[in-house]
Structure 1
Amino acid sequence: MMETDKNKKNLNAPHDKGYKYLLSHKKVFIELLRSFVKKDWVNEIDESKVIRINKSFILQDFKNKEADLVYQVKLENKEVFFYILLELQSKVDFQMPYRLLLYIIEVWREILKDTSLNRQKRKDYKLPAIIPIVLYNGINRWTACLSFKETIDSYELFGENIVDFKYILIDVNRYSEEELLQLSNLIGSVFLLDRRVGREELIERLKKLTDVLKDISEDEFILLKNWFLSIVSRFLPEERKREVREILEGSKGVEFMISNLERTLKEEFIKKSRKEGIKEGLRRGRKEGKIEGKIEGILAVLIEQLKEKFTNVPSEYIEALKKLDDNTLLLVAKDILKIEKIDDLKKYLN
């Protein structure tokens, strides 16, 4: 990974594997091309003539920077190789054309290694075409050069004598929600759910995808469930991860799965919001350094969260909370949020 922080590396590892897992299935790979690569030759791809090469060509120089996939495809009876680089990190890498050139050469070296010398020496022997594709999901717009020659100083002087190629960029975050929903397929849905959005927006997107994904095949449904497990649950606490795993394993259809995921995520977001509210109240109270400040910072949040959790909170309970002294309020605030019945609040008010 490009990130220097070790924790970020560990966090991105399952994320990269999740995408590699999805795109290792040729149906999803072909879906990616047909959805995001607007070239005439894409329509000529026959799924029966697509083979995944089970080998990574990442070099030692760039170890841990990314994941890659290679597919061999027969197009008009000619071998074509698609080299897909999964650039699933937040920063743009301006060395991308150079890295791709090295990977392309590695693929050719592997091909030549498996090709007899007699065949290589034939006048009509030609290296197969390699189409480089970069899949990028960073927040910032991709600003690295798309063609290799642009990375060479004064390339304009030498024209066609300079080595050149142009890679295909799939910049996931540049597609609108409407565009991804209109695709009505697995890869578009995954790109939409993987966006860095707020909690409520994530739940809304899950709802919208119920209709979009209802007709996916059984194989694609299994892929989606496994992707959810490795990606969506990675920020959840252990008990929620177990709950998500049980939901996914027990789901027989998209609607059931999304409905239960929506409920679980909403519960977790509310719980997290309560914790964040108490922390903010404590911070505000300490900053102001007085009882009034703590009441404004903690009590207001506490009352708000109680009202959110319970439909009716008796006014006398609210008044009793306001009368708690500073130290008692600090001690019981977190415990109060754990209560399951509003009547249990009484023991904290005596």
Structure 2
Amino acid sequence: MLVLLELQSYNDFTMPFRLLVYMTAIWLDHFKNCDKNKRSQKGYRLPAIMPIVLHNSERNWTASCKFSQMISNAELFGKYVVDFEYALISVNTLTESKISNSNTLIDNIFLADKKRTRQDWTDNIAELMHRIRAMDTNDLNEWITWFSNVIRKLNEDERGELITQIKEGDEKEMCSSFERLLNKEKAEGWKDGREKGKVEDRAEAVIELLEDLGELSDSLKICIMEQTDLELLKKWLKAAARAKSIEEFEQAVGLVHI
């Protein structure tokens, strides 16, 4: 069995379709690389894939977990519609004490992902690095690959230095380097991250208000989540708070045809 993990910091209403694309690509690769005689036999099977979404936002996940809910009039075709459901794990609901009971790759990604501020990182860096370096080599390399994406604003030399120290360096020196690089990350990148977070939070707040009025179409949800203009989202939030129906909101903000 294969496990497909998707880390997500905001609601993505196209998630079932995205996962289907990923799984299809995996199966296609498996099929192409399988011996032709073997795959033509009656007993040939594709590998099972377990899709899991790891949600690391403080807001609730409101996107559908079932693929069929993205299909128009799926209920008319019953079992003949392609369908699957992914598992949803909210990192925010996991306590650090529960995560700390074991020391797997996923545990340490969860633990690192819960460090939302620079202070969180600097206060706990020594303990976290000790756990990470205690993992086996394969898990350590996978964690470093994940973490490299987190610190992507650092240049190649800085990333290389930090990764080398995580693997081999003195723990005290490693922690000092890590804090120094976090300062750089904060100065150069965290402003953009905060702005993106504000946009996502505002869009999700609009959706939450509208969901109190009724069921939203996927197209409307996608339209709101794809909006990146913070000032416009502020106006939409006010409109959603005043609206007595979803239709009234759409008319107020000019989304009548969404």
For the 8 Å contact 2:6–2:53, the answer to whether it is kept is yes
Q: 1:97 aligns with which of 16, 28, 41?
A: 16
What TM-score comes out, normalization by structure 2 length? 0.52
Does residue 143 of the first structure (1) align with residue 56 of the second (2)? Answer: no
Name the aligned partner's letter for residue 177 of structure 2. T
Aligned partners of 2:150, 2:156: CA distance in 1, in Å?
Answer: 13
Task: Report the counterpart of residue 184 of structure 1 in structure 2.
Answer: 103
Q: Percent identity?
A: 28
Note the residue ranges of structure 1 that are not aligned, 5 or more in a row.
Answer: 1-72, 74-81, 276-350
For the 8 Å contact 1:181–1:212, the answer to whether it is kept is no
**Where in structure 2 are the equivalents of 1:329-340 lying within 5 Å?**
none
For the 8 Å contact 1:83–1:131, the answer to whether it is kept is yes
Find the residue that maps to 2:48 and give its secondary structure: strand
Task: Report the counterpart of residue 126 of structure 2 in structure 1.
Answer: 207
Find the residue that maps to 2:84 and give its secondary structure: coil
Q: Deviations over 1:128-160 (max 9, x none)?
A: 353241344542443222222222344445433
Task: Report the counterpart of residue 210 of structure 2 in structure 1.
Answer: none
Find the residue that maps to 2:52 and give its secondary structure: strand
Name the aligned partner's letter for residue 108 of structure 2. S
Aligned partners of 2:174, 2:11: CA distance in 1, in Å?
Answer: 33
- Cα 1:249–1:101 change in 2 (3 A) is closer
**Where in structure 2 are the equivalents of 1:233-252 lying within 5 Å?**
233-235=151-153, 244=162, 247-248=165-166, 250-251=168-169
Name the aligned partner's letter for residue 262 of structure 1. C
Shift of 1:107: 4.5
Give the paired residue count. Answer: 186
**Where in structure 2 are the equivalents of 1:288-303 lying within 5 Å?**
none
Find the residue that maps to 1:165 and give its secondary structure: coil
Find the residue that maps to 1:143 and give its secondary structure: coil
Shift of 1:175: 2.6
Task: Report the counterpart of residue 216 of structure 2 in structure 1.
Answer: none
Task: Report the counterpart of residue 261 of structure 1 in structure 2.
Answer: 174
- Cα 1:234–1:108 change in 2 (3 A) is closer
Q: Deviations over 1:82-122 (max 9, x none)?
A: 262x54454322222233334444544555555648964x6
Name the aligned partner's letter for residue 133 of structure 1. P
Find the residue that maps to 1:133 and give its secondary structure: strand
Task: Report the counterpart of residue 160 of structure 1 in structure 2.
Answer: 79
Task: Report the counterpart of residue 197 of structure 1 in structure 2.
Answer: 116
Find the residue that maps to 2:124 and give its secondary structure: helix
Aligned partners of 2:120, 2:26: CA distance in 1, in Å?
Answer: 42
**Where in structure 2 are the equivalents of 1:76-155 lying within 5 Å?**
82=2, 84=4, 87-111=6-30, 114=34, 116=36, 120=40, 124-125=42-43, 127-139=45-57, 140-155=59-74
- Cα 1:181–1:125 change in 2 (3 A) is same
Name the aligned partner's letter for residue 165 of structure 2. I
For the 8 Å contact 1:92–1:138, the answer to whether it is kept is no
- Cα 1:192–1:152 change in 2 (3 A) is same
Name the aligned partner's letter for residue 85 of structure 2. K
Name the aligned partner's letter for residue 176 of structure 2. R
For the 8 Å contact 1:133–1:170, the answer to whether it is kept is no
Aligned partners of 1:215, 1:248: CA distance in 2, in Å?
Answer: 11
- Cα 1:144–1:203 change in 2 (3 A) is same
Find the residue that maps to 1:264 and give its secondary structure: helix
- Cα 1:92–1:272 change in 2 (3 A) is closer
What TM-score comes out, normalization by structure 1 length? 0.40
Aligned partners of 1:237, 1:103: CA distance in 2, in Å?
Answer: 30
Name the aligned partner's letter for residue 199 of structure 1. R
Aligned CA RMSD, in angstroms, stands at: 4.2
Name the aligned partner's letter for residue 206 of structure 1. I
Shift of 1:202: 0.8
Name the aligned partner's letter for residue 264 of structure 1. S
- Cα 1:156–1:239 change in 2 (3 A) is closer
